[in-house]
A = this chain, B = another copy of it.
Amino acid sequence: MKIGILTAGGDCPGLNAAIRGVGKAAVLTYGMDVYGISSGFLGMIELEYRSLSELDLSGILTLGGTILGTSREKPFKDQSYGEYIRSKPDIILDNYKKLGLDCLVCIGGNGTMKTASKLSDYGLNIIGIPKTIDNDVWGTELSFGFDSAMMVATEALDRIHTTANSHKRIMVIEVMGHHAGWLALYSGIAGGGDLILIPEIPYDESVMCDYLTERNRQGKPYSIVVVAEGIDFPKKKKKKKSAANYIAKMIQEETGMPTRETILGYIQRGGSPTAADRILATRFGAQAADFASRGEFGVMVALHDQHVEAVPLSEVAGKLKLVPGDLPLLRKARALGTCFGDTLST
Tell me which residues across on chain B come within 8 A of A328, comparing CB atoms. 283, 307-308
Give complex CA distance A279, B220 in Å.
23
The one of B63, B154, B262, B266 that contacts A160, using a Cβ cutoff of 8 Å = B266
- A297-323 CB contact bits vs B (8 Å, 1 = yes)? 000000001111000000000000000
- A12-43 CB contact bits vs B (8 Å, 1 = yes)? 01010000110011001100000000010000
Question: Which residues of A from 59 to 82 have beta carbons under 8 Å from B?
Answer: 59, 61-66, 69-71
Q: Are A274 and B168 touching (Cβ within 8 A)?
A: no
Q: Are B190 and A278 touching (Cβ within 8 A)?
A: yes
Give complex CA distance A71, B278 in Å.
32
The one of B155, B167, B220, B336 that contacts A71, using a Cβ cutoff of 8 Å = B167
Q: Are A163 and B24 touching (Cβ within 8 A)?
A: no
The one of B54, B65, B187 that contacts A165, using a Cβ cutoff of 8 Å = B65
Q: How large is the interface on A (under 10, 10 to 19, 20 to 34, 35 or more residues)?
A: 35 or more
The one of B24, B271, B337 that contacts A159, using a Cβ cutoff of 8 Å = B271
Q: Are B25 and A335 touching (Cβ within 8 A)?
A: yes
Tell me which residues across on chain B come within 8 A of A260, comparing CB atoms. 266
Give complex CA distance A290, B61 in Å.
38
Name which residue of chain B comes closest to A24, CB basis. B336
Name which residue of chain B comes closest to A20, CB basis. B336
The one of B153, B276, B290 that contacts A276, using a Cβ cutoff of 8 Å = B276
Question: Which residues of A from 114 to 168 have beta carbons under 8 Å from B?
Answer: 141, 147, 150-156, 158-163, 165-168
**A275-B191 contact, Cβ under 8 Å, with A270-B161, A283-B332:** yes
Name which residue of chain B comes closest to A260, CB basis. B266
List, sorted by A's number, 25 A–B pairs whose CB atoms are closer than 8 Å.
Answer: A11-B162, A13-B162, A25-B335, A25-B336, A28-B336, A28-B337, A62-B158, A63-B162, A66-B166, A69-B221, A70-B166, A147-B276, A153-B275, A156-B267, A160-B270, A161-B270, A171-B266, A186-B275, A186-B279, A189-B278, A190-B276, A264-B267, A274-B274, A283-B332, A287-B332
